[in-house]
A and B are shown apart, each in its own frame.
Chain A
């Protein structure tokens, strides 16, 4: 059962990382446009044609 001393803090640590990740994503505005974000994942399939560089 001594293994709990390692496993429990590890589990909590992982949970905490998840929570911090969530708070970060919230702060960086990733929940502002849920509909658009869903579509953007698909849009990446057709790449934007690069504009030709100004100097060859």
Chain B
């Protein structure tokens, strides 16, 4: 049965005879790639648009409805040397993109208003002593009001909305003092204009909004970029399933197009992409990505299988179930819900700062006003001075102190191979003093590897690799990968459940079970040396060899564990796997604390126990069984190969084979937290300097404008230091 590829799920009908598809493309990095791809795709007849987006690494394609099959584009890109896969924008990314556009629109309006109001303010500042008559000054003030009021009403929306949301739930965030300050400054300026007074603060208010919007927009852009990369990675996993579209007819369809009730075919060597129940066939399956257990389980009629399981030996038919049907999933979902509720209680540094800041500032302004009244000033003058205090303390620097550091730090982490799922994870990560690793798929790599390559002569390995290419068995695939084989041995035959055999130069070649290759004695002798390894035998004429195949440790795992320990972080392993396997890994890595055979509930209990002792725990895990403990921990991390649910739950996701991003993330976040605190102190220092001036009532709009932009620039420049961590510590 040959399956066809069906990408119709991703094709959008634009009407008027045109179709549209978005592809995520790997490896587009320069202008050369861009023109190569666009020319290569435009050359296909009927293609009306082929446009590369270099920022998001995507291609948008449009073509005339008809004979053209979307899989043709993917083949064409493969010929050009790029791996591509259809892509569907997830809701989260669409929301982030819409937010970014809205912030940019607000920023445009605020910047326009700030420039024009400033143009009117400068003559007022410089002209009051000279030849500007009061009528002209009033005219300029009225014009400023005309520009600033509608602009602030529009561009202030992000702050007003967020402040209102916080106030309605009885909280205070940084946007509350911002909104109060801007609103009062504008209101007072209107009143002052009506009274033909000398000073108005239209320029200060609108400039404040502009600065803050710059910070917000940069933050949003970084988040959008992270989402786009995560979306591409998800698309390029190219998760497909072989679906029965009729009794004897199958098609390769994307997982997104599979619905509960469908029946899919799972062949040996394939990873299951859906949750479901076996309805026909019998096989061994590797569930290590789900439960951490590296021993194969038997799957037969009625067995529940989960996305991520690897089918080893036989062919299975699986009926796709809705997510809640599986008992394991239902249990994990319940634990996850509890854990997530507990986590939402964390209060961000910015919110903690504003809880302190807002009351102090508002009280100071109020006391200033009362104080001036008590020493005999008029109510009007006292009110103006009080509002001047609010304007000068309006947390321009404070509002930028944390988002700018976060933007720069998440950019640096992104380059180090770490994607952030949630905004406050940097703060929580910086506090970590204890890390719990899952073993399977986290400390070890999810793919199988030949571990005794040193014992096998190179020419034998080469022959074994060629023979292995004829088999779909994952263990054989590992041998083929290790030998780096390209072309299969001609005439090789696979005997299901036994192995592969072939002929070369009159010699009989066999690869498979030890009994199939006549190597039982050799296998018995080496049994028990490595409890986790699968043994595959190879016979070449009379000679016998054994390959030991297992999930290897990540290449730099040992170095990373000791780097973490050097940073005074205690490391421990909680695994769902058997004791001998976990003990071996712990010994190899120099980890003294480990626990084996843990259920999801056990893992949570251990984390809660550590938390109650005052530890800040980070959980690093990938399996479906880790999802609840990822949510329960103070902060959590997953490799990109993790189960969907775990990846969505984790605060951070790291890319690639090495474990190094874990240390990089900790270094960058510690540095970032340090700079955030420093920035807050800079903002406080600025206030200590500026507030007495404001209280004494000598602040002019010019002083306010200079002080505000000065402190904002200082904080922004300081934030740039988050790009680097001190060298030589790792």
Contact = CB atoms under 8 A, between A and B. Distances in A.
A35 B54 contact: yes
Interface stretch (B31-39, B156-164, B628-636, B684-692): B31-39
A1 B137 CA distance: 12
A33 B108 CA distance: 18
B115 A33 contact: no
Given A33-B54, A33-B56, A36-B53, A11 B31 contact: no
A31 B143 CA distance: 31
Contacts of B139: 4
A33 B55 contact: yes
A23 interface: yes
A12 B146 CA distance: 11
B39 A48 contact: yes
Nearest to A5: B139
B54 A26 contact: no
Contact of B105 (A1, A15, A26, A40): A26
A15 B110 CA distance: 12
A6 interface: no
B416 interface: no
Contacts of A42: 31
Contacts of B34: 36, 39-40, 43
A16 B56 CA distance: 32
A48 to B, nearest CB: 7
B636 to A, nearest CB: 32
A12 B148 CA distance: 12
Nearest to A18: B112
A18 B35 CA distance: 32
A19 B56 contact: no
A31 B39 contact: no
Contacts of B56: 32-33
Contacts of A48: 39
Interface string A8-48: 10011001101100110010000111111001101100001
Interface string B51-63: 0111110000000
B55 A34 contact: yes
B49 to A, nearest CB: 13
B105 A43 contact: no
A15 B136 contact: no
Contact of A23 (B30, B39, B105, B115): B105
Contacts of A8: 120, 143
Nearest to B120: A8
Nearest to B54: A36
Contact of A31 (B30, B104, B136, B147): B104
A55 to B, nearest CB: 16
B54 A23 contact: no
A26 B143 contact: no
A11 B140 CA distance: 13
B108 A19 contact: yes
Nearest to B115: A15
B109 interface: yes
B52 A36 contact: yes
Contacts of B108: 19, 22-23, 26
A36 B55 contact: yes
B82 to A, nearest CB: 15
B348 interface: no
Contacts of B53: 32-33, 36
Interface string B95-132: 00000010011001100100110011000000000000
A1 B722 CA distance: 51
Contacts of B112: 15-16, 18-19, 22
A19 B31 contact: no
A3 B119 CA distance: 16
Contacts of B101: 26
Contact of A32 (B30, B31, B55, B119): B55
A45 B115 CA distance: 36
A11 B30 CA distance: 41
Nearest to B52: A36
A4 B109 contact: no
Contacts of A43: 31, 34-35
A1 B35 CA distance: 56
Nearest to A16: B112
A23 B105 CA distance: 7
A4 B147 contact: no
Nearest to A14: B116
A47 B147 CA distance: 46
Most A-side CB within 10 Å, residue of B55, B56, B109, B139: B55
B54 A12 contact: no
Contacts of A35: 54-55
A43 B31 CA distance: 7
A33 to B, nearest CB: 4
A33 B104 CA distance: 14
A54 to B, nearest CB: 11
Interface string B485-509: 0000000000000000000000000
A15 B148 CA distance: 13
B116 A11 contact: yes
Given A26-B108, A32-B55, A39 B31 contact: yes
A53 B115 CA distance: 52
Nearest to B147: A12
Contacts of A31: 104
Contacts of A4: 136, 139
A42 B34 CA distance: 12
Interface in B38-81: 39, 52-56
A43 B136 CA distance: 52
A15 B55 contact: no
Nearest to B112: A19
A22 B104 CA distance: 10
Given A8-B143, A48-B39, A26 B104 contact: yes
Interface string B432-467: 000000000000000000000000000000000000
Nearest to B101: A26
Given A8-B143, A26-B101, A26-B108, A15 B116 contact: yes
A42 B35 CA distance: 11
Contacts of B143: 8, 12
Nearest to A42: B31
A2 to B, nearest CB: 11
Given A12-B147, A42-B31, 11 more contacts: A8-B120, A15-B115, A15-B116, A19-B109, A26-B101, A31-B104, A32-B53, A32-B55, A36-B34, A36-B55, A39-B54
13 contacts: A4-B139, A15-B115, A22-B112, A23-B105, A26-B108, A31-B104, A32-B55, A32-B56, A33-B56, A34-B55, A35-B54, A39-B30, A39-B31
Interface of B: 30-31, 34-35, 39, 52-56, 101, 104-105, 108-109, 112, 115-116, 119-120, 136, 139, 143, 147
- Ranked nearest first, the 9 interchain pairs of A and B with the lowest CB-CB distance are A36-B54, A39-B31, A19-B112, A33-B53, A35-B54, A22-B108, A35-B55, A33-B55, A15-B116
